[in-house]
Structure 1
Amino acid sequence: MKKKTVLVLMVLVLALGVLAACGGKTEYKAVAINEGVDKCEVCQMLIKDDQYATQIILKDQKPLKFDDLGDLYVWLNKNGRDKVGAAFVRDYYTKEWINLDQAVFVYDKGIKTPMSFGVVSFAKEADADKFIKEAGAGKKMTVKELDSHDWAHSMGGGHGSM
């Protein structure tokens, strides 16, 4: 009887372990940009590994890379968010990947970005304030505000000027 009890307990522990692993939250991580090789999902231009690169990791773990935050939003507005696991942006100063939902943004039509959308991202609100002060222009924005932002190209650039 003891062997049967031990066997049942082992099966239950194993089953609980499998269920815990299946029920856990999927973790999404930003992937490296392969400079000079990777292309923007929207405009097909080569991506530079700098403060403007962004990416989406789909729920199936497939990365989609973009050369400008505006192109990431062009893709989202066309394709929706159902298949998106996470989105990442670069901190303008440190170039570290940060989750889109945790970033602070600065917009100004005079900010030069690869596709002329004029939006840059920061991990810290203080860094966004510093950028605005040094540039003498810019509007601080949240990710919620970006969802309703007019993603028009600034300064005559963008896809239409390629």
Structure 2
Amino acid sequence: MKKLILFVLLSLVFVACSIEAKPINYGTDACDFCKMSIVDQIHGAEIVTDKGKVYKFDAIECMINFKNEMSKEQPQLFLTNHYHTPKELIDAENATFLISENLPSPMGEFITAFASKEAAEKIHQELDGKLYNWKELVQQQSNK
């Protein structure tokens, strides 16, 4: 009996600490940085920590600002919605970002993610702006 209880407790610990994305409930979930409702299905984002805690954001810039203020928890995943498949979360560290005043975002920084550089370049040609990879975007936003 003690072995069964121990097994169940250990199983719960492993399940509770899984490092994976959680679906954003648009219109219900609130941004963990600015506290606004997350309604925009193209600009939502998430951080998943090393302990499996998920933080949700209404805009990429909120995720970056929150990341810059984190002290104890270690981010393991940075995820973002993207332009061509709303609601789908992709790895922000592999995405390409466009800052274009011709493509509004919820918090007014005009940041939109794309799953590939080619997809971002296509929209960049149409709407102008500037392209960034994740590292460049974090640096650019952190310098504001």
TM bucket, shorter chain: 0.7 to 0.9
Conserved 8 A contact 1:28-1:57: yes
Matches within 5 A, 1:1-150: 28-48=19-39, 50-79=41-70, 83-95=74-86, 96-135=88-127, 137-150=128-141
Aligned-pair RMSD on alpha carbons?
A: 2.3
Aligned AA (2:119): D
- Aligned-partner Cα distance in 2 for 1:132–1:151: 23
Per the TM alignment, residue 79 of structure 1 is displaced from its structure 2 partner at its CA by: 1.4
Higher relative contact order (CA 8 A, sep 6+): 2
Moved over 4 A (4+): none
In 2, the alpha carbon distance for the partners of 1:37 and 1:111 equals: 24
Deviates more, 1:63-72 or 1:101-110: 101-110
Asked whether the 8 Å contact 1:103–1:123 carries over to 2, the reply is yes
| Amino acid corresponding to residue 139 of structure 1 in structure 2 | K
Gaps of 5+ in 2: 1-13
Counterpart of 1:105, as a letter, is F
Task: Give the structure-1-normalised TM-score.
Answer: 0.71
Q: Based on CA coordinates, which of the two structures has the bigger radius of gyration?
A: 1
Aligned length: 128
1:18 corresponds to: none
Report the TM-score, using the length of structure 2 for normalisation. 0.79
Sort the Cα spacing of 1:116 and 1:75 in 2 relative to 1 into closer, same or farther, 3 A: same
Aligned-partner Cα distance in 1 for 2:89–2:100: 22
Greater alpha carbon shift after TM alignment, 74-83 vs 101-110? 74-83
